[in-house]
């Protein structure tokens, strides 16, 4: 190979290496800024990564909002109608924030309480963010599976006498 071809090859290799390094840095930067959405049931079950920020989405539980007089501190419960999780926030809440409305809060867990840095509320009466609707549907499906796997009290009492009569033969 002559020197011109060697120089072109070297430049091409350096460009590929530089592009790879740039893509790696961008990927790491974007991953560190990502916050995943979890339902209150998933948070309660411990499915969230410990010590990192994430989003919790659900409905503000009725009669759970407690404001501290003379400050911007507020505590409330977010629910997916299966489980509730306590949230604490200090700041100005969105105008659409109220009990029974869908919210997404971004923050992290501190001593069993989700400390929100940002709270977003839905924008009209019929809209629910697709991510929140999906998480709530998953929680309901999981609860239905657990309910089907667990016999009810009526089923247990119906099985117990049958088992007793089988053992009592003539």
Using the 8-state DSSP alphabet, how is residue 135 labeled? H
Q: What is the pLDDT of residues 62-77, one digit of tens each?
A: 999 999 999 999 999 9
Residue 140 marked ligand-binding: no
Residue 127 marked ligand-binding: yes
CA dist., res. 98 & res. 83, Å (int): 19
84-90 and 113-121 strand pairing? parallel
DSSP string for residues in 15-59: HHHHHHHHHHHHHHHHHHH---EE-HHHHHTT-SPTTS-EEEEEE
How much of the chain exceeds pLDDT 70, in percent?
Answer: 83
Residues 6+ apart with CB under 8 A from 98: 60, 65, 121
- The average confidence (pLDDT) of the chain is 84
């Amino acid at each position: 190979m002559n020197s011109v071809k060697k120089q072109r090859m070297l430049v091409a290799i350096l460009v590929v290496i530089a592009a790879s390094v740039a893509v790696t840095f961008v990927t790491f930067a974007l991953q560190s800024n990502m916050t995943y959405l979890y339902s209150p049931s998933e948070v309660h079950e411990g499915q969230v990564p410990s010590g990192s920020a994430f989003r919790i989405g659900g409905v503000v539980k009725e009669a759970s909002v407690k404001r501290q007089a003379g400050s911007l501190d507020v505590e409330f419960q977010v629910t997916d109608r299966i489980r509730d999780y306590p949230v604490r926030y200090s700041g100005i809440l969105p105008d659409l924030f109220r009990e029974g409305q869908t919210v997404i809060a971004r923050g992290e867990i501190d001593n069993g309480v989700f400390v929100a840095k940002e709270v977003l509320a839905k924008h009209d009466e019929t809209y629910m963010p697709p991510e929140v609707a999906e998480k709530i549907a998953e929680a309901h499906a999981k609860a239905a599976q657990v309910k089907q796997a667990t016999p009810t009290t009526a089923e247990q009492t119906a099985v117990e006498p049958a088992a007793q009569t089988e053992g009592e033969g003539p």
